[in-house]
Amino acid sequence: MTYSVAVVDDHILLSQAIGGLVEGFEQFTVLYTCKNGQELLDKFKNPKNIPDIVLMDVNMPILNGIETTAHLYEHYPQVKVLALSIEEDDSTILQMLRAGAKGYLMKDVRKSELYNALLEVIEKGFHHTNTVTKVLVDSLSEKESPQAILKERELEFIKHACTEMTYKEIADVMFLSPKTIEGYRNAIFEKLNLRNRTGLVIYAIKNKIFVP
Amino acid sequence: MTYSVAVVDDHILLSQAIGGLVEGFEQFTVLYTCKNGQELLDKFKNPKNIPDIVLMDVNMPILNGIETTAHLYEHYPQVKVLALSIEEDDSTILQMLRAGAKGYLMKDVRKSELYNALLEVIEKGFHHTNTVTKVLVDSLSEKESPQAILKERELEFIKHACTEMTYKEIADVMFLSPKTIEGYRNAIFEKLNLRNRTGLVIYAIKNKIFVP
DNA sequence: TAGTCAATCAGGGATTTTCCCCTTAAGCAT
DNA sequence: ATGCTTAAGGGGAAAATCCCTGATTGACTA
């Protein structure tokens, strides 16, 4: 019995190279490779193109790994998604797992670990490295994910705060009084334990609220 | 005649996968793969380990692609470095080329393009994609690369400015008067055309002066 | 159905930090 | 000497920060 694998990565060379590795594994065969989530979903329209496992990158244009995984989890629950990314920050990993990924591999694993992961996902239904397990454990004790405590309007303000605009200018573009903006800022500083706007900018970038 | 290739990438899976691709090319064979520049230089101590071409990632821990390439260019000029990276910002590409890389491939190229690039580097001594050529042309007309106009102490200040410290606190840790810090800040604002500290933080992150 | 409660928006006033001029002094090189 | 760089400062305006108060609204609740 051989299992089919689809590789999704916007870096064509990498998807081809990884596909090559997978072809080298006896029980696995590469069905096709795609450049992004949208392309993958398009392929799925033909039932012949539904693989057993999807090896999915996280950062992709158009439809990223998290959104794509969530969509697959809902509409094709039999397809097992194994994330494969250079991103190793906790929130990304958690987001992928929440979206329904059966495992998360950093791109610095060895070929043999990829093989094990594929096998385990088929046999046990999941594969979690030590790093991932740690993230999962941490997520239990830790406070709710940072983004969750911020409201929509606050997030909008934060994005503006990551520009050269003064608070007064931000107030203008958000159609609010500068004093209300101050209110947002104070609430955010309090919640996130920040001292000043610089801290807010760094926080926003670290947590991908604002992408420079 | 076959040519030997060394693959340097901190993501083991990728270096193995890319190595697999290269092994598939008739005229080329993989001598070994390394996790970073330091490891590569250690290998070079044995003359048997000096390849014809090095496929080099840019972002690596310990000794990065730019430093490593510069070192090879000085000490082993016969070795041809072909950069292979996901980074596609102009300054990174320029830095690699200045360090002596014979070409710069984005990781989203096709397998066949990698093959062409390897062949061309052997035959013509270089391989430049359209993107890279454009960067080179732009670099002629454009002002000197942003980093170049900033002095060592200014860069140090910028890194501190990307924290929650006030300018007074930065002055303390840099053993300078707050007024001197102001002088730095004004000079930088002038040079980089910035309005305020937030702009500076964003600039620093975009240009990798400060990594969040 | 009025009353409490929480969330949102806004303001007054004080203090600190940032920003922007413009000047000076020491060290160093041509 | 004359310029150049680096470090430092004075003074003032603008922005950001901090603390405290009030008005409006919608929602639940006794």
Provide DSSP, B132-163: HHHHHHHHHHSPSPGGGGS-HHHHHHHHHHTS
pLDDT in tens, A78-121: 999 999 988 888 878 888 988 999 999 988 888 899 999 999 99
| B144-B149-B155 Cα angle (round to 5) | 135
Question: Is residue A148 predicted with pLDDT exceeding 60?
Answer: no
How confident is the model over B23-76, as pLDDT tens digits? Answer: 999 999 999 999 999 999 999 999 999 999 999 999 888 888 999 999 999 999
* A chain contacts of residue B109, beta-carbon cutoff 8 Å: 12-13
Average pLDDT (B144-161) is 80
Q: Looking at per-residue confidence, does A147 or A41 come out higher?
A: A41
Position A62: which residue type?
I
Residues of chain A in contact with residue B196, where contact means CB-CB under 8 angstroms, are: 164, 166
Q: What's the whole-number mean pLDDT along residues B165-193?
A: 93
Give the full edge-to-edge strand order of the sheet including B80-85.
B28-34, B3-8, B53-56, B80-85, B103-106
Position B141 scores a pLDDT of: 59
Is residue A13 within 8 A of residue A7, CB to CB? The reply is: no
How high does pLDDT run on average in chain A?
90
Summarize pLDDT for B93-121 with one digit per residue, the tens: 888 888 999 999 988 888 899 999 999 99
* Residue B26: Cβ within 10 Å count: 7
- CATH architecture of the domain with residue range A146-206: Orthogonal Bundle (1.10)
Secondary structure element (H or E) that encloses residue B184, with its range: helix B178-192
Residue B36: its chain A contacts at CB < 8 A?
A: none
What angle (nearest 5°) sits at the alpha carbon of residue A172, between those of residues A170 and A178?
70
pLDDT in tens, A65-75: 999 999 999 99
Q: In angstroms, what separates the C-alpha of A3 from chain B's closest C-alpha?
A: 20
Nucleotides of D under 7 A from a protein CB: 6-10, 15-19
Angstrom distance (rounded) from CA B61 to CA A53: 32
Residue B147: pLDDT band (50, 70, 90) is low
Instruction: State whether the beta carbon of B196 lies below 7 angstroms from any atom of strand D.
Output: yes
- A164-168, B1-5, B85-89, B123-127: which has the minimum mean pLDDT? B85-89
DSSP string covering chain B: --EEEEEE-S-HHHHHHHHHHHHTSTTEEEEEEESSHHHHHHHHTSGGG--SEEEE-S--SSS-HHHHHHHHHHH-TTSEEEEEES---HHHHHHHHHHT-SEEEETTS-HHHHHHHHHHHHHTS-B--HHHHHHHHHHHHSPSPGGGGS-HHHHHHHHHHTSS--HHHHHHHTTS-HHHHHHHHHHHHHHHT--SHHHHHHHHHHTTSS--
Nearest CA in chain A to B35: A108
Cβ distance A111 to B201 less than 8 Å, yes or no, reads no
Percent of chain A with pLDDT strictly greater than 90: 64
Which stretches of chain A sit within 8 Å of chain B by CB?
A: 10-14, 16-18, 20-21, 24, 84, 86, 105-111, 113-114, 161-164, 166, 194-199, 201-202, 205-206, 212
Residue nearest to nucleotide D15 (CA to C1'): A166
Predicted confidence (pLDDT) at residue A161 exceeds the cutoff of 70: yes
Q: What is the pLDDT of residue B23?
A: 92
A20–B16 CB contact, under 8 Å: no
Helices A130-141 & A90-99, crossing angle to 10 degrees?
Answer: 90
**Do A202 and B18 count as a contact with CB atoms less than 8 A apart?**
no
Distance CA B158, CA B199 (A): 11
Mean pLDDT over residues B178-199, rounded? Answer: 93
Give the gyration radius of chain A's Cα atoms.
Answer: 20
- Please check the confidence at residue B138 and state whether its pLDDT lies above 80: no
CATH 3.40.50.2300 segments of chain B: 3-141
- Give how far B163 is from chain A: nearest CA, Å: 6
Higher pLDDT pick, B107 / B83: B83
Average pLDDT for residues A129-151, to the nearest whole number? 72
Distance A185 CA to C22 C1' (A): 35
pLDDT of residue A146: 56
pLDDT at B134: 84
Which nucleotide lies nearest residue B153, CA to C1'? D6
CATH architecture observed for domain B3-141: 3-Layer(aba) Sandwich (3.40)
